[in-house]
Amino acid sequence: MTNQSIACDAPDSTPQDRSDKGLVRSQLLTLRQRIPIEDRKRFDATLGDNITKWATILLETNVDLVLGVYWPIRDEPDVRAAYAELVARGVRLALPVVVAKDAALQFVLWTPGDVMIKDSFGVGIPAHGEAVSPHALLIPCVGFNPQRIRMGYGGGFYDRTLATTPRPATVGVAYSCGLAQFEGAVHDIALDRIFTETGTL
């Protein structure tokens, strides 16, 4: 993978203190926020195209594919433009819902245009819907390391979700400037792959 974004190529763009994950997270969030809007739109379109191609391949072996997607917050890659195309190709989508502070995420069937409400975190979730177990998940990343360990916001919701059985296939979605050197925790589970605007890890 190569970095093409001006924001990602900045001399101070690589978090330096690997021992403090909170500091690394803060630095990565700042980097993501600084990506110019026109670059962001282009990156998001590339990510959406790659996600659509990948999901279409999955459909060849699973015509009932349920894909867990996400509603972007805090400058996460916005690939919602691809969701309608996925539905048109036969993919069923589900959005995550926080049911308890220390529980795994629940996923609820959702189609673009369905009524949404905001949860206690201010995140959009379906107002109604059937709970399902997705076959695969798109997971937004604050950062990631070369071993495909994801860094999130520290709540542990996806960690608990990936610890359940059966474990869904996992694809991280991130900008390339989220690549950083940090140590994974004992409970961290490597993602199967990570899509960025520059390629796949």
pLDDT along the chain (201 residues), means of 10: 44 55 95 97 98 96 97 96 96 96 94 93 90 97 97 93 92 97 89 97 93
Q: Give phi and psi for 109, each to the nearest 5.
A: -55, 140
The whole-number pLDDT of residue 186 equals 84
**Contact yes or no for 188/149 (Cβ under 8 A):** yes
Does residue 14 sit within a domain? no
The residue range of the domain holding 148 is: 21-200
pTM over 0.85: yes
Is residue 22 part of an annotated ligand binding site?
Answer: yes
Burial class (CB in 10 A: 0-12, 13-18, 19+), 124: middle
Give the number of domains in the chain: 1
Does residue 82 sit within a domain? yes
- Alpha-helical (H) ranges within 60-184 are 81-88, 157-162
Is residue 184 part of an annotated ligand binding site?
Answer: no
Is residue 201 part of an annotated ligand binding site?
Answer: no
The CATH number that applies at residue 146 is 3.40.50.10420
Is residue 43 part of an annotated ligand binding site?
Answer: no
Question: How far is the C-alpha of 106 from the C-alpha of 58, rounded, in Å?
Answer: 22
Is residue 157 part of an annotated ligand binding site?
Answer: yes
Does residue 3 sit within a domain? no
The whole-number pLDDT of residue 3 equals 38
The whole-number pLDDT of residue 11 equals 37
**Contact yes or no for 139/171 (Cβ under 8 A):** yes
Does residue 8 sit within a domain? no
